[in-house]
Amino acid sequence: DAGVIQSPRHEVTEMGQEVTLRCKPISGHDYLFWYRQTMMRGLELLIYFNNNVPIDDSGMPEDRFSAKMPNASFSTLKIQPSEPRDSAVYFCASSDQPGTESNYGYTFGSGTRLTVV
């Protein structure tokens, strides 16, 4: 398996533009997570899905952020309109069902470095 795949790796956009980040989880993983990483706030959970259904979106900073998971192999995180303070590295991660000894922990994607100018 190629692991969790995120695209793009880097994104530079102007303030006010829409940004869409993409994630392909590991095949068979039932949980998908979106994290944001900044120096000031560390790793913050934004939202997570179980079987394509959003379970907890309490970490989504505001209405400008939205996430979808239309099927088991694809998820998007959208920011509209983007602002400079959204600049961060956005990680997607996936994991097995509870109790699966092989991978109780997450597997992270390589991340998308977003810069909003």
Partner 1 sequence: GENVEQHPSTLSVQEGDSAVIKCTYSDSASNYFPWYKQELGKRPQLIIDIRSNVGEKKDQRIAVTLNKTAKHFSLHITETQPEDSAVYFCAASKGTSYGKLTFGQGTILTVHP
Contact 93, 75 (CB under 8 A): no
- If the CB atoms of residues 57 and 81 are measured against partner 1, the closer one turns out to be 57
Closest to 91 in 3D by CA, of 58, 113, 61: 113
Binder to partner 1 among 19, 26, 33, 114 (CB under 8 A)?
A: 33
Kindly state the tokens that stand for 91: 């990680």
The answer to whether 34 contacts partner 1 (rule: CB under 8 A) is no
**Ramachandran assignment for 90, one of left (phi > 0), alpha (psi -120 to 50 degrees), beta (any other):** beta
The answer to whether 83 contacts partner 1 (rule: CB under 8 A) is no
The answer to whether 104 contacts partner 1 (rule: CB under 8 A) is yes
Residues binding partner 1: number (CB under 8 A): 19
- If the CB atoms of residues 70 and 105 are measured against partner 1, the closer one turns out to be 105
Helix (H, G, I), strand (E, B) or coil at 84: helix
Binder to partner 1 among 60, 67, 90, 109 (CB under 8 A)?
A: 109
How far is residue 93's CA from residue 37's CA, in Å, rounded to a whole number? 13
The answer to whether 25 contacts partner 1 (rule: CB under 8 A) is no
The answer to whether 45 contacts partner 1 (rule: CB under 8 A) is yes
